[in-house]
Structure 1
């Protein structure tokens, strides 16, 4: 606050100015959960619209959208681990990640496993040709990037390739997104008991309970309405999504704290980077693929 004449110090006008400045400061600061909420909502609505439109148009459009997001996510990971002096071989890692997504869509789990293995081999050879100093460290960083981003994302693509894949993907995204929404809302209003204060101080057990309630409700609704499956499969799906989404969020928090960074990127106002939005989705994708593949077979979904 600028200096005021001595005569005004402690006066009613002085107190009013102080209150006005405090209100302005609070209005400009992030919310209790550390987000710019209006920007976060706007970006979230835009991303949701892009996903729905691509799924409605044709599966290949959604595959292209995911591929772009994963390329950006891998680039953010490559840049993030540089803070730990890990120099990921960019070309084989990025190309291999894109190939993994296409193989998952066209050939399923076997093609995905083969493409992931071959990509790691290529990364090892590529890095060895550049010299052996710190090669193991850099290969480990590339393997982490490949396993964390395109490998986990490929489970969503394998859902897309199944009968009524668009509805399966919507179900997967819905339970994961509502995990975040339920946890955020209840955590802001009622959160008192931190879940992992050394990792994510704002995440609370009350928020986890809100996440569990919204996940199971949305899961039951989606599986029974969209996939014509028993409601209990949706409850199981939602409960699993609540756990994996929470773990995914905490895992990325550990990575960021270890590297000494706040966000993985800055391309999404109110959210941070692409990876700051993919964290819960990535770990939830394999669980949803297992549940929807083996408990909601093609016949039930049809």
Structure 2
């Protein structure tokens, strides 16, 4: 018995029922003109019950009238039934007869075929570049495919720079420039003291220029002409007329900067005047105390000498102790390289050297000399931190690049500018007491 029809019919179905037509037409009967040709190729119908019959008229090359559509086969050449029995060249990809290139259904047949030969080397500009050198083979303990931390390609732009010391300085250049600056100060100081006044005035002028130039990074434009002229005037008044004239020179410099700035209009006036006042106090006024030290009768050059020696010992002791033993940062947000160990080295070296030097030169008892060294060292460190804070606020590393290994002149004067007022006040008290 035949299985039950799954499509809802209760009648048994089988292939031996003559009263029901077959699910496909008889291919022996020629279809009449009323039969509509399928619009889709027979091989695109996956379901055999809905697949159209084979096309006996040759509308689909590669098919015949012997049953359901067969897989497409490539025509073998002219005269093949796939060409419709007509010899001749094949046009395009559909097997039509006609000259090559006139098939509107396949416009890509009109394109120029791809060349098999390689293009000239001029079309490959990368061949003119220098080939990358192979890296040396990794060590046995190094994992394959990875480089050790900090390792770079040889000859690359990221090659490590030449070492310049533990504190980031070019130490030979720094020592050479330091010796030259010391000679520039001490030679006129001992041979012809009035020439020392020119050295101080020139240092004040250069320092004012560097500060005004750095202030431009904060969109401030302090008037440079009255600052330099007033600074030189302040140093001269201190040399010839004493401390009261130094204060007068500061007032004249600030007033001259305000009047000069009025000519540029009100835009940014307060900002520029504030920057000018800061520069006038920081450079000419503090630098004028060096002129007061040198202008002291009989022993002015010795006062300048012990002050400079204390500052140099403070810087050298701090550098040596900080570079070798520094582990605890003192002011990481202002100067990350300064440590408490470096401060101890600065104070210790300055105290020891000043105790010996003041005892030999001024007959001051050693503990008073040590006190002098501690005070000068503390003032020098504060001056260094003050300029570091100013540079960090302005976003500059050095005030300029005038001095190799040091940066700008203000990068060397920062400690001295805070140390000379302290030394002037202490020596004014200690030396008369010893006498």
Larger displacement relative to structure 2 (214-223 or 183-192): 214-223
- Once the two structures are TM-superposed, the CA of residue 5 in structure 1 deviates from its matched residue by 3.5
Please show how residues 214-233 of structure 1 align to structure 2 within 5 Å. Answer: 214-233=349-368
**Conservation of the 8 A alpha-carbon contact between 2:406 and 2:412:** yes
Counterparts in 2 of 1:121 and 1:215: CA distance versus 1, 3 Å:
same
CA shift digits 1:173-205 (9 cap, x unpaired): 110111000000010010000001111111000
In structure 1, what is the equivalent of residue 217 of structure 2? 83
C-alpha displacement of 1:156: 1.2
Distance 1:111 1:20 in 2: 63
Residue 291 of structure 1 deviates from its aligned partner by 0.1
Task: Report the structure number with the largest CA radius of gyration.
Answer: 2
For the residues of structure 2 that align with 1:157 and 1:233, how far apart are their CA atoms?
24
**Structure 2 gap segments, 5+ residues each:** 1-130
Aligned mates of 2:379, 2:132 — CA distance in 1: 53
1:42-121 alignment to 2 at 5 Å?
Answer: 42-121=176-255
Separation in 2 of the partners of 1:59 and 1:266?
A: 29
User: In the alignment, which residue of structure 1 is the partner of 2:388?
Assistant: 253
CA offsets, 1:229-277, max 9 Å, x none?
A: 2222211111111211111111101100100000001110000000000
**What SS class does the counterpart of residue 83 from structure 1 fall into?**
helix
**2:417 matched to which residue of 1?**
282
Aligned-residue CA RMSD (Å)? 2.3
The range that moved more, 291-300 or 158-167, is 291-300
* CA distance, structure 1, for counterparts of residue 335 and residue 163 of structure 2: 19
Corresponding residue for residue 297 of structure 1: 432
Q: Do the aligned residues in 1 keep the contact of 2:363 with 2:434 (CA within 8 Å)?
A: no
**2:321 is the alignment partner of 1:186:** yes
- Matched length: 293
**Structure 1 segments of 4 or more deviating over 4 A?**
18-22
Q: Does 1:9 align with 2:137?
A: yes
* Corresponding residue number in structure 2 for 1:155: 289
Matches of 1:27 and 1:48 in 2, distance apart? 29
The CA distance in 2 between the partners of 1:166 and 1:293, in whole Å, is 14
TM-score calculated relative to the size of structure 2: 0.64
